[in-house]
């Protein structure tokens, strides 16, 4: 079809692989689309469901049998693109290459142990902060809000909303512990900070995982780069 094509298997894609690439096509299910989206800043994504009978395809927009027709639309400039809010993560001042499309999860590296951390919410010149004990924190976009976030008690919202939401999972509330920062909406220009008080993990879209040590500073905020998804 007159296109130069590079191939990469799911989860092996690296940022440097995208040099000189103008379009990324994921062929698989939602996990493949998520993995492909993580390194995209200004390049559009066409998410193709290769098995509609077995794959939910919540993030995909076409089935494999429609791919050739869609490529012709794209070459002619007749396609439509939507912008999906994403989440940016900064650890100790260094921006992570992976941008979350669904959610960011922070918790104890052992799921059966309590997560101990300090959380801060910055809005303009105001700061809320609190030490908490829970089973972890979810930061969700509208795209991810119908999945894990909803199952944990969150209220779903539109993928086009220009904010993210925070939800504390199973807060350890007893006589000595009363927490106030359990649910928050984080608008563009605002940010949350999580400082682990023990060893923890940070997971991006349940695909890419990073270890956190006590005292690390993790900044969570709406990304400057929404995902450009081809419809």
The DSSP string of 102-166 is: SEEEEEESSTTS-EEEEEEEEETTEEEEEEEEES-EEEE-TTTTTTHHHHTTPPP--TT-SEEEE
- The DSSP bridge partners found for residue 119 are 130, 194
pLDDT band of 15, cuts 50, 70, 90:
confident
pLDDT band at 152 (very low <50, low <70, confident <90, very high): very high
What is the rounded CA–CA span in Å between residue 21 and residue 3?
11
Token output for 156: 């779903």
pLDDT in tens, 52-84: 888 888 899 999 999 999 999 999 999 999 999
Pairing mode, if any, of strands 87-91 and 94-95?
Answer: antiparallel
pTM beyond 0.75: the answer is: yes
């Amino acid at each position: 079809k007159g296109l130069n094509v590079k191939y990469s298997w799911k989860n092996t894609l690296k940022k440097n692989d995208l040099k000189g690439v103008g379009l990324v096509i994921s062929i698989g299910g939602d996990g493949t689309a998520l993995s492909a989206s993580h390194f995209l800043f200004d390049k559009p994504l066409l998410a193709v469901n290769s098995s509609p009978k077995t794959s939910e395809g919540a993030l995909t927009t076409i089935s494999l049998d429609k791919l050739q027709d869609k490529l012709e639309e794209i070459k002619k400039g007749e396609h439509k693109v939507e912008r999906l809010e994403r989440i940016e993560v900064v650890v100790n001042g260094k921006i992570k290459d992976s941008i979350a499309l669904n959610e960011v999860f922070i918790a104890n590296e052992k799921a059966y142990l309590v997560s101990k951390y300090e959380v801060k919410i910055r809005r303009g010149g105001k700061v809320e902060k609190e030490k908490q004990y829970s089973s972890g924190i979810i930061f969700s976009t509208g795209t991810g809000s119908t999945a894990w976030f909803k199952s944990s008690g969150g209220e779903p919202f539109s993928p086009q909303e220009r904010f993210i939401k925070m939800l504390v999972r199973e807060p350890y509330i007893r006589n000595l512990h009363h927490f106030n920062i359990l649910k928050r909406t984080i608008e563009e220009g605002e940010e949350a900070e999580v400082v682990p008080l023990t060893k923890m993990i940070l997971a991006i879209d349940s695909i890419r995982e990073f270890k956190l040590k006590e005292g690390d500073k993790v900044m969570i905020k709406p990304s400057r780069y929404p995902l450009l998804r081809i419809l």
